[in-house]
Amino acid sequence: MDIFFQQVVSGLATGGIYGSLALALVMIYQATDVVNYAQGNMAMFSTYIAWSMLDAGWPYWLAFFATLAIAFVGGVAIERIVIRPVENAPILSIVIVSIGLLVILSSVAGWIYTYTQKPFPSPFPNRPVKLGNVIVGAHDIGAITVTLIVLLLLYLFFRYTTLGLAMRAAAQNPVSSRLVGIRVGWMLALGWGLAALVGAVAGIMVAPVVFLDPNMMGGILIYAFASATLGGFTSPGGAVVGGLIVGVTENLVGTYVRFIGTELKLTVALAIILIVLMVKPSGLFGRGTVHRV
Amino acid sequence: MPALLEVQRLEAQYRWTKVLHGVDFAVEEGGITTILGANGAGKTTTLRAVCGMIKTAGEVRFAGRRIDGRATEDIVRLGIAHVPEGRGTFVNLTVEENLRLGAYGRRERGALAADFGRVYEYFPVLRERRGQLAGTLSGGEQQMLAVARALMLRPRLLLLDEPSLGLAPLVVREIFRIVRTINRDDGVSVLLVEQNAAIALALADHAYLLETGRVVISGAAAELGRDESIRRSYLGY
């Protein structure tokens, strides 16, 4: 039973990271109807920036917040420079642009930092923490906490500030938003900035576990897709819950189903995507699209 | 004194179809002007053109300044509130959030509470439903919400696109009564586009009749309403 709880807690830790990245995907999807395939590599690149600062001897939390700021500005810049010119193009063009971005970010990271794996520090102590009979890593607890704080702040921002309200409005109904004076283009750019910021948190929190290399977010992006699909691409809260479910499921299946083990874990994510799309395409918390005829 | 809104030789097109062929009209400061016409005459396009929602040629002046060619959000911020065709409700936001958004584009951000108080006084039903998702409101309530949202901007000019469409006569009368009150008490000028000529002419002081993208008749609303031949051939009542 202790193994069970241990696996659940560590599943929640990775699940929080999947959920954060899934949330970043959902935020951009809701605003622009586009799945941003570069989301994972944007997070990877941000994590390298954090690594550079830490390598230069910056204190951890200073590097952490500086990276979030850079990620935010970078996300806004990407939207303005790369996405905006194809804003009115067919969805497929934008998808291709985001895939191009994925390749470019990965290559540039490899070119600057090489493809060798780098260890990435955790700000949390290296010793395990005992919760009753269950022993969990301090980094797991720390990662869950940081993720939850970020999600809570995002929730408060979108729920209670005028800017957050304007961003939600711009995503839902751009035409009406312009008619109340909202600068819709800038709201979309801010959305990209926030998504990049959330992704950066995910990257920094997962890097101590998976090590830092230009492809580190590849698998995690697939888990994030599974999370967003499970929770529903139209539901930010659903994406986070989906992430937690995927994280825990993946761990439990890996532990208790002998033939899956650690090697076939990624298959679980793909199986989840497939099953959700077959059984309930709008996800657990998503709304189906309704068209008035 | 020049008119608050002055439109000259306005042309507009969707793709290759020209919809407006040089329309001229004006809205006096403090006045109510109506543009009448059948389906497809270009009424909605005219309002959209004023707000910069489509590409146009010609001149649009607001309070003496050229506004044609400017972005919709900038035009709105000058104090032009547009209640669009289909009401433009943010269906997944609450009534109160819809109203908060209405005040987004205005300069002075203070005194929001007073404005909420005022629109809730005009539309008590919105106060009852303020926590509800706007998409769950009835058609009439959504139209009230659209007008209330426009008022939150504290506009100088209110553009109304067929507020009577699809509503019960009683609701229509109520909305028109409130538009008149807003015009009289708050000094908001109104440009009303309508198919329901009788009710529009009763409210407006000046009227234009639009036919396939051209103004065919204009004059004082009362006179147009009295003219037997115009009534029979154009207004159909």
Return the domain boundaries, chain A.
2-279
Percent of chain A with pLDDT over 70: 98
- My answer on whether B122 and B19 are in the same domain is no
- My answer on whether B132 and B197 are in the same domain is no
CATH number of the domain that B179 lies in? 3.40.50.300
Residues A117, A107: contact at Cβ < 8 Å?
no
| Domain boundary residue, one of B134, B154, B174 | B154
Residue B110: inside a domain, yes or no?
yes
First to last CA, chain A: 54
Give the C-alpha separation, A133 to A257, whole Å: 23
- My answer on whether B48 and B115 are in the same domain is no
- My answer on whether B170 and B218 are in the same domain is yes
- My answer on whether B9 and B73 are in the same domain is yes
- My answer on whether B138 and B207 are in the same domain is no
- My answer on whether B11 and B75 are in the same domain is yes
Q: Which residue of B has its CA nearest to A287?
A: B92
Residue B84: inside a domain, yes or no?
no
Q: Assign A254 a pLDDT band (cuts: 50, 70, 90).
A: confident
- My answer on whether B8 and B23 are in the same domain is yes
B27-50 CB burial, b ≥16 within 10 A, e <16:
bbeebbbbbbbeeebbbbbbbbbb
Residue B112: inside a domain, yes or no?
yes
Per-residue pLDDT, averaged over A243-267, amounts to: 85
Quick one: tokens of B213? 């993208």
Q: At what angle do helices B139-151 and B95-102 cross, to 10 degrees?
A: 30
Residue B221: inside a domain, yes or no?
yes
- My answer on whether B184 and B132 are in the same domain is no
In this predicted structure, what is the pLDDT of residue A234?
84
Contacts 24+ apart (CB under 8 A), B112-115: B115/B151, B115/B152, B115/B154
Residue B17: inside a domain, yes or no?
yes
CB under 8 Å to B5, separation ≥6 — which residues?
A: B26, B27, B50, B60, B61, B62, B157, B189, B191
Nearest to A180 among B71, B92, B149 (CB): B149
Q: List the domain range (segments joined by +) for residue B179.
A: 1-79+156-237
Decide which of A260 and B187 is more confident. Answer: B187
Min Cα distance A36 → chain B (Å) is: 24
Nearest to B105 among A173, A180, A184 (CB): A180
Q: What digits encode the pLDDT tens for the residues B44-79?
A: 999 999 999 998 899 999 999 999 989 999 999 999
pTM of the model: 0.88
Architecture of the domain defined by A2-279? Orthogonal Bundle (1.10)
- Quick one: which of B145, B110, B111, B147 has its CA closest to B125? B145
Number of domains composing chain B? 2
Nearest to A169 among B73, B77, B90 (CB): B90
Give the C-alpha separation, B185 to B87, whole Å: 24
In this predicted structure, what is the pLDDT of residue B109?
67
| SS3 category, A21 | helix
From chain A, pick out residues whose CB is under 8 angstroms from the CB of B90.
169, 172-173, 176
User: Which DSSP state fits B232?
Assistant: I
From chain A, pick out residues whose CB is under 8 angstroms from the CB of B112.
none
A181: left (phi over 0), alpha (psi -120 to 50) or beta: left
| SS3 category, B28 | coil
In this predicted structure, what is the pLDDT of residue B15?
81
- My answer on whether B120 and B3 are in the same domain is no
Interface touch B102/A169, C-beta < 8 Å: no
Q: Assign B237 a pLDDT band (cuts: 50, 70, 90).
A: low
Whole-number Cα distances in Å, A190 to A118, A163, B77 = 31, 10, 21
Q: Which residue has the tokens 């839902």?
A: A172
* Interface ipTM: 0.90
Per-residue pLDDT, averaged over A134-150, amounts to: 88
